[in-house]
Structure 1
Amino acid sequence: MRSPVRPGPEGGTTMAKRQAPTPETSDAPPAGDAGWMPSIDAGKSVKYTAIVQSMEEAIASGRLAEGARLPPHRELAARLGVTVATVTKAIADLARRGLVDTRRGSGTFVVGLAPAEAPPPAASDAPLDLAVNRPLAALAAPFLKDALLALTGAEAGDLFGYEIVGGNAANRATGIAWLAERGIVAGENEVLLTQGGNDGLLAALQAICRPGEAVACEASNYSGIRRLAQALGIVLVPVATDRKGMSPEGLEQACRTQAIKAVLCTPVTHNPTAVSMDLARRAEIAGIVRRRDLVLIEDDIYGHLAGEAGEPFFCDMPERTIHVTSMSKCVSAGLRVGFLAVPRTLVGRVRDALYTTNWTAPSLHAALAARLVAGGAARDLVEAQRAEALVRVARARQIFGPALDLEADRASYHIWLRLPDHLRADEVSAELMRAGILVSPAHHFSIAGTAAPNALRISLGAVADRGLLEQALTEIARRIVGVQMAVGAIA
């Protein structure tokens, strides 16, 4: 998986970036639309590529002159009949190629093509990491840059003192708005700020369980759950899953044989299997939780990215559900902000649990989140991440075919690939690592006492370049699927 010239995001080579004329020294007029404004096909699923290709051709031909200032994103979106997120994604792509330069308060300027004799980037010996599970960082970069630049003056100074654990009123207001995107109506006294989803899960488990008590969870699960359980001294009871998530029969069996205190589950885009519960399955699980008088810890970290995926458990059972969410899987992995929606009877215990690992709220990250949510950028960015994830999942489906366990219309940055019986996941993972491709074998996610499925989790967001991602996926398929590959690039 080595290449002397690293492809750009759409398969072309990455061009060396040139410095755009500065707004202070340039009287560049706005770029007119004659000859370069793209024509968007209403039936085209990935519209931003038309914008990128049209502008790249216009810059190469000189129709878009070096130093020209592009129209604002919202104006471009309105003229093209697309969303602001689509335009933002296209401009970010052009910026990564070194064709435009965006400057806060001044606009976006055409940089122009690099000289033909510019040397190519050096080859990288680093493996392609399809093991780490995160959204595409390059999509988030311009949004986070704008939010960071906005945090200046007195407000910035206030972000480096001690702040109440669980968040102040402004932090909780951000959480209320973020949770509302998932259909959750929560009051200020029912929302707590956390330093990401893992922090929220730790607080929820510690608030509900004492050492030695048992929590039922999916038999294959987020690997951090095992570490949290070990730190808290609680027992994880594995429950079988199927293509609709946690098995009701398996949960009933666990409740009959163990003194279960709580149920922990991921109803949307389960990690690692990527399956989601339908409404009927949610109703069955909720019924068991009520009959057994349990608390349900709902890990909804992928809910925003997946979009419309059924009503969260908190909406149906707010009196016995702790809803855990964050921005790490749908906005940016490094934005360590999460929120809990908690029954009022449990808020005090959960806040006390947060003090175990926190002595102050994540004020700086919370301020960034507030900027993104209040200005609508968070919603635009989630839409852009969702669109990108859908493109990558669609191509993975073409490459791997029925070996993938994933719903066709569900956005996800990870996929679950079941292997044929004659192959072993550990051996395939080791072989791929020697070839320069990192993936996660199923045993990484298995709860103690269960046999690991013969499968691999493959992450689609850590490799920014679509061309390199497709090379890696094709190589994986060549080694394990052994069928004629679908032809065509990720577009």
Structure 2
Amino acid sequence: MEAPTLTNLSSGETEDRAITSDGITRLALNHPPPVPAVFNDVVSDALSRVFARTSPADLVATHRWMGTEIDRQQGAVFAARRLGGMPNADRVIVAHSTQAALHMLLPGMIGRGGHLAVEQMTYPPVRSFAERYGIHVTDVAIDGDGLDPNAFEDLCKRGTPSALYLLSTYQNPTTVTMSLDRRREIAAIARRYHVKIIEDDIYSLLSPSPLPPISALIPELSWYLLGTAKSFSAGLKLAFVVAPDAATAARTFWPGVRATYWMASPVSAALMADLISTGGDVKILSSVKLEVAKRHADTLRTLPMPIASDPGCLHVWIPLRLGLSSTDVAEAILRQGVQVAASDSYAQPGWKPPQAIRIGIGNPSSQSVLLQALKTIASVLSDFENDLRPHD
């Protein structure tokens, strides 16, 4: 099979951001699809308003700290759409990104020698961040509805973790969205054992019918993270963090910790505040949702095998047949010019997860590049299936 390269794409195709200089189409990345027809006009108008109010020199003259009063007020408006009620703006921190916020929360909330509970398959950087700060990570089993409440309570009975990190909507990598009943169960257990919740809700903005976050059910113990990089644009990195209360917010971020690396870029913060106040963010999100839904439809048509997916999720999850290794399959697909993620990469070393691959459908700039990559994946998986069939 010929690996896809920039020179053998369909006629008239220009260079795509998902394709590397050596011709690899990167579907291991989970970026939202670009929607330039809407994004460019909406963001250009917003930036014009920002610079009409503030000169460039004044805008970047100093740090944004936890966000200006306007930043935090608009952040409260933005988070309220998910939380179902308006948090007080003094509970809101405007951070550079979800990762930057995690770098403050893990050492600030848990500290060296403490314990963090995570889903058994989880966002890989969380494990490396915890290791950097000397934090022990304990896996909690997951099932078809997300975090297993019995496993979570058993862990709490053996020794309460300081905090639980999880994604309740479009879990990474399995795509599972936790039911409302399950969210209530997890919140009740966390309250019973006084376990703090770090809820990463970054994917929820693309859901056609999002459920209330766990943080809305247990706000007194929750740190709610609502980032923009997975729903607007990968380079528009910003995260609105809603703390349990104002004093805890100030103690964990500024002025409690005199670091500045986590602070938001003034331009990004001012841009996002304007988008929220004018409804520009809703226009961009609506366009991204439509594009993601189209790509899901293409994915379902192109891949003949059963997959776990949702029209609002940026990734799909392909369980592999018994006897197949996710690492072997991912490596075989890579040899044909497409990079995907293996389930092994989301698990703690020493534990063998259910074998599957994750495909990010948003990273290619064009649907044609995505389609060609999906056909490559389908062909490789078909070859593996044929090898497993008994032959006469």
* Corresponding residue for residue 469 of structure 1: 370
**Structure 1 range deviating more: 363-372 or 325-334:** 363-372
Q: Paired residue for 1:255, among 153, 156, 163?
A: 156
- Superposed CA deviations along residues 43-95 of structure 1, whole A, max 9, x for unmatched, are xxxxxxxxxxxxxxxxxxxxxxxxxxxxxxxxxxxxxxxxxxxxxxxxxxxxx
2: CA distance, partners of 1:401 / 1:276: 23
Query: Percent same amino acid among aligned pairs?
Result: 27
Q: Paired residue for 1:242, among 140, 143, 150?
A: 143
* Corresponding residue for residue 285 of structure 1: 186
* Corresponding residue for residue 250 of structure 2: 348
Matches within 5 A, 1:420-459: 420-459=321-360
**Structure 1 range deviating more: 368-377 or 348-357:** 348-357
* Corresponding residue for residue 362 of structure 1: 265
Q: Output the amino acid matched with 1:165.
A: W
> How many residues end up aligned between the 2 structures?
373
* Corresponding residue for residue 62 of structure 2: 162
The alpha-carbon deviation at position 402 of structure 1 amounts to 5.4
1: CA distance, partners of 2:260 / 2:346: 24
* Corresponding residue for residue 147 of structure 1: 46
1: CA distance, partners of 2:226 / 2:104: 13
* Corresponding residue for residue 117 of structure 1: none
The alpha-carbon deviation at position 14 of structure 1 amounts to 4.6
**2:132 equivalent to 1:129:** no
* Corresponding residue for residue 2 of structure 1: 5
- Superposed CA deviations along residues 171-193 of structure 1, whole A, max 9, x for unmatched, are 10120121122134211111110
Whether the aligned pair in 2 keeps the contact of 1:172 and 1:188 (CA below 8 Å) is yes
Q: Which runs of 5+ in 2 are unaligned?
A: 386-392
Aligned-partner SS, 1:319: helix
Distance 1:184 1:302, change over 3 A: farther
Give the number of the structure whose alpha-carbon radius of gyration is greater: 1
- Superposed CA deviations along residues 355-381 of structure 1, whole A, max 9, x for unmatched, are 435275421110111222222111111
* Corresponding residue for residue 488 of structure 1: none
**2:297 equivalent to 1:394:** yes
2: CA distance, partners of 1:237 / 1:483: 34
- Superposed CA deviations along residues 139-175 of structure 1, whole A, max 9, x for unmatched, are 4444334434444354322221223421110110120
* Corresponding residue for residue 233 of structure 1: 134
The alpha-carbon deviation at position 388 of structure 1 amounts to 1.0
2: CA distance, partners of 1:401 / 1:319: 46
2: CA distance, partners of 1:234 / 1:283: 27
2: CA distance, partners of 1:342 / 1:463: 35
Q: Output the amino acid matched with 2:71.
A: N
The alpha-carbon deviation at position 126 of structure 1 amounts to 2.3
Whether the aligned pair in 1 keeps the contact of 2:35 and 2:288 (CA below 8 Å) is no
The alpha-carbon deviation at position 6 of structure 1 amounts to 3.8
1: CA distance, partners of 2:106 / 2:85: 21
The alpha-carbon deviation at position 422 of structure 1 amounts to 3.1
2: CA distance, partners of 1:226 / 1:357: 23
Aligned-partner SS, 1:365: helix
Aligned-partner SS, 2:93: strand
2: CA distance, partners of 1:305 / 1:217: 23
The alpha-carbon deviation at position 463 of structure 1 amounts to 0.7
Q: Paired residue for 2:72, among 172, 175, 178?
A: 172
Aligned-partner SS, 2:219: coil
The alpha-carbon deviation at position 448 of structure 1 amounts to 4.1
1: CA distance, partners of 2:96 / 2:21: 33
Q: Output the amino acid matched with 1:143.
A: V
Q: Which runs of 5+ in 1 are unaligned?
A: 16-95, 97-122, 485-491
TM-score, L = length of structure 2? 0.88
2: CA distance, partners of 1:403 / 1:256: 38
RMSD: 2.5
2: CA distance, partners of 1:299 / 1:279: 16
Q: Output the amino acid matched with 2:108.
A: A
Matches within 5 A, 1:59-208: 125-139=22-36, 140-152=39-51, 154-182=54-82, 183-208=84-109
- Superposed CA deviations along residues 416-470 of structure 1, whole A, max 9, x for unmatched, are 1111123211111111112111111112211345323311111011111111211
The alpha-carbon deviation at position 137 of structure 1 amounts to 2.8
Q: Paired residue for 1:374, among 277, 281, 292?
A: 277
Aligned-partner SS, 2:294: helix
The alpha-carbon deviation at position 477 of structure 1 amounts to 1.4
**2:125 equivalent to 1:224:** yes
1: CA distance, partners of 2:378 / 2:140: 30
**2:338 equivalent to 1:403:** no
The alpha-carbon deviation at position 305 of structure 1 amounts to 1.3
2: CA distance, partners of 1:282 / 1:402: 30
Matches within 5 A, 1:46-65: none
